[in-house]
Amino acid sequence: MFRFENSQYLVFLALPLILAAIHYIVIFRKRALLRSYGDVDLVRKLMIDVSRWRPELKFWLGNLALLSFIIALSRPQFGTKVDTRERKGIEAIIALDVSNSMLAEDVKPNRLEKAKMMISNMIDGMKDDKIGLVVYAGQAFTQLPITSDYVSAKMFLETISPSMMTVQGTDIAEAINLSCKSFTRQEGVSRAIFLITDGEDNEGGAVEAAKHAAGMGIRVYILGIGDANGAPIPIPGTTQYIIDNEGNTVVSRLNEEMCREIATAGSGSYIYVDNSSSAQRKLAEQVDKLAKTTMESQIYSEYDEQYQGFVLLGIILLILDAMLLERSSHLKTLSRLFVRNGKASVIILLLAFCTGALAQNDRDYIRRGNRSMRDTLYAKAQVDYQKAVEADNTNPQAHYNLGNSLLFQNKAEDAMKEYETASRFEKSKKRLGMIYHNMGVLLQSAKQFDKAVECYRNSLRNDPTSDETRYNYALCLFQLKKGGGQDNQDQEKDENGQDEKKEQDKQQQQEEKEKQQKENPEQQQNQQQMSKENAEQMLKAAMQDEKNTQERMQQMQQMPRQKHLQKQW
């Protein structure tokens, strides 16, 4: 595929035609002037050293050189790198059990953390695939809509915990049904649900849901995590374990029989997850099998610059033009070419310009870095992008890509600096939206929700069509309302640093309070009444806030229904 990147310069192609017209007008007038002197043949015989074809050849050499330079200025490009892929990529929904039973430590460090590590490694191995996250316990909701933004997927994965679920228990059927609705409508794509669970299904209907998914062409893979012998469920922040209504310690056991039954019904397979890495290898094998079932497609993945050849051709034509004399050649005249006319300097300068034109520029380094990024060679890509920045420090694409390569190497601070630099030079609103989105993801992962909200706002101002940005923006607002901003973190840090001073202030306040109780008993009674009124107001506000939170959660949950679970693990 061929194109001109700077096609506006093609209008200068009219210049060689205009010069050719002027050239032949001049030749016609010269011939007319020769006729005025006498017989044309006689006059030509008197002009012994004058060549008839050399001036014509010199003109066309110069004219063709000009043509070559105009084409080079228009930056011709060929889509020479054609990717013939045996897959378009798959769509995968990860349905992760986040019930309390996933905190059991029969798999180290615990079931949930082990599952998150497997998902993270799975994301690292993806290239052209799309991934979404569904979390479930007693109910299910979408944590991350299906996307190819692997950085955001890993960021959201880190925030998953059982505390985010208002209804405990395990409803595998609802998780499968919601996952089926989370895929795109694109045709010809392999789809799969990778459901991670410890096999304790409190609601039932999972087998039927898996059969329904298989009927839609969606494979259901079950990753059973845990031990059949079971393990107690620790209460976070304590040394105690969850107990049932009768006061007995709850022991959560992996139900492998049920896991295999669901996987068979969903036309998938069952993978047992333990402390070894065998489950990770089996998971990668299943993903590769899915990926190879789609059609081939040819895509021009990048365009290579071709202007260098035209610049070189123009230089050669100019050199030939400079070396060719209008008169018939004599060795003595030719020897004086570089001395008397000073054309040697011109040729040297032209050769130097040719060498510079063939040298790599910032775009060449960016293309090399892009190839390294596709091959997951992030350190090598970083080197190429840094060279592109050195070649042109004002190139926003170089800074943005450099930030991405640093981000994949977990160098968040350096990546943020590059994104900020890219935002200053970028003019395209679409790319600005992408830059601010990545900045927001970094701040969100650092729990600086107030700053992340501002970045997401800037992203939506430039690109209001991004669903992922809107989702992240809403999630950060929700975290801010819960008090998860950076200001609160700084406040907690200051409070922890002043524990001794607070203890002294509390003692002083207690002494003053006891003194006032002895002196003014009536005032004390009034204060107690006011405290009760304040408490009631705070209780009402908390209940209203909880009600609003529940309404928001119900909107996020695509299949809300009332549950009365006896098991809360």
DSSP result, 250-288: PEE---HHHHHHHHHHTT--EEEE-SSSHHHHHHHHHHH
- Give all strands of the β-sheet with 2-4 in edge-to-edge order: 2-4, 76-85, 297-305
CA distance linking residue 72 with residue 327, whole number of Å: 32
Per-residue confidence (pLDDT) for residue 435, from 0 to 100 = 93
| Cross-strand partners of 252 | 231
CA distance linking residue 260 with residue 499, whole number of Å: 54
CA distance linking residue 346 with residue 353, whole number of Å: 11
Sorting pLDDT into bands at 50, 70 and 90, what band is 349?
low
CA distance linking residue 376 with residue 384, whole number of Å: 14
Sorting pLDDT into bands at 50, 70 and 90, what band is 209?
very high
Q: How large is the average pLDDT for residues 120-146?
A: 88
Sorting pLDDT into bands at 50, 70 and 90, what band is 196?
very high
Per-residue confidence (pLDDT) for residue 49, from 0 to 100 = 66
Sorting pLDDT into bands at 50, 70 and 90, what band is 27?
confident
DSSP labels, 166-229: SS-S--HHHHHHHHHTTS---SS--EEEEEEE-S--SS--HHHHHHHHHHTTEEEEEEEES-TT
Per-residue confidence (pLDDT) for residue 307, from 0 to 100 = 82
Per-residue confidence (pLDDT) for residue 202, from 0 to 100 = 64
- Whether the pLDDT of residue 104 is over 60: the answer is yes
Sorting pLDDT into bands at 50, 70 and 90, what band is 220?
very high
CA distance linking residue 426 with residue 424, whole number of Å: 6
First-to-final CA distance of the chain: 58
3-state helix/strand/coil string of 69-111 = HHHHHCCEEEEEEEEEECCCCCEEEEEEECCHHHHCCCCCCCH
Per-residue confidence (pLDDT) for residue 86, from 0 to 100 = 52
DSSP E strands in 416-530: the ranges are: none
Of 7-21, 22-36, 74-88, 488-502, minimum mean pLDDT range = 488-502
CA distance linking residue 163 with residue 236, whole number of Å: 10
CA distance linking residue 351 with residue 338, whole number of Å: 15
Structure tokens of 491?
Answer: 């406040």
Q: How large is the average pLDDT for residues 128-142?
A: 88
Model pTM score = 0.46
Upper half-sphere CA count for residue 267 (Cβ side, 13 Å): 13
Helix/strand/coil percent split, the chain, to 5: 60, 15, 25
CA distance linking residue 341 with residue 431, whole number of Å: 52
Upper half-sphere CA count for residue 327 (Cβ side, 13 Å): 10
Of 197-201, 370-374, 565-569, minimum mean pLDDT range = 565-569
- Whether the pLDDT of residue 262 is over 90: the answer is yes
Sorting pLDDT into bands at 50, 70 and 90, what band is 48?
low
- Whether the pLDDT of residue 212 is over 90: the answer is yes
Average pLDDT, the chain: 77
Residues 450-503 pLDDT 10s: 999 999 999 998 888 888 888 888 888 888 877 644 444 444 444 444 444 445
Per-residue confidence (pLDDT) for residue 88, from 0 to 100 = 66
Share of the chain above pLDDT 90, in %: 21
Residues 518-568 pLDDT 10s: 444 444 444 444 444 544 454 455 455 545 544 554 554 444 444 444 456
The three-point CA angle 80-86-92 to 5° equals: 120
Structure tokens of 241?
Answer: 């374990």
Of 13-27, 147-161, 227-241, 543-557, minimum mean pLDDT range = 543-557
With a CB cutoff of 8 Å and minimum separation 6, the contacts of 453 are: 440, 473, 476, 477, 480
Structure tokens of 352?
Answer: 């130097």
Per-residue confidence (pLDDT) for residue 353, from 0 to 100 = 53
Per-residue confidence (pLDDT) for residue 339, from 0 to 100 = 47
Per-residue confidence (pLDDT) for residue 540, from 0 to 100 = 52
> Alpha carbon of 516 to those of 73, 75, 154, 509, 521: distances in Å?
88, 86, 56, 10, 8
With a CB cutoff of 8 Å and minimum separation 6, the contacts of 61 are: 317, 318, 320, 321, 324
CA dihedral 455, 461, 467, 469 (to 10 degrees): 0
The b-or-e profile of 301-327 (16+ CB within 10 A means b, else e) is ebbebbbbebbbbbbbbbbebbeebee
With a CB cutoff of 8 Å and minimum separation 6, the contacts of 172 are: 97, 136, 195, 197, 201, 203, 206, 209, 262
405 C-beta neighbours (distance < 10 Å), count: 25
Higher pLDDT, 142 or 539: 142
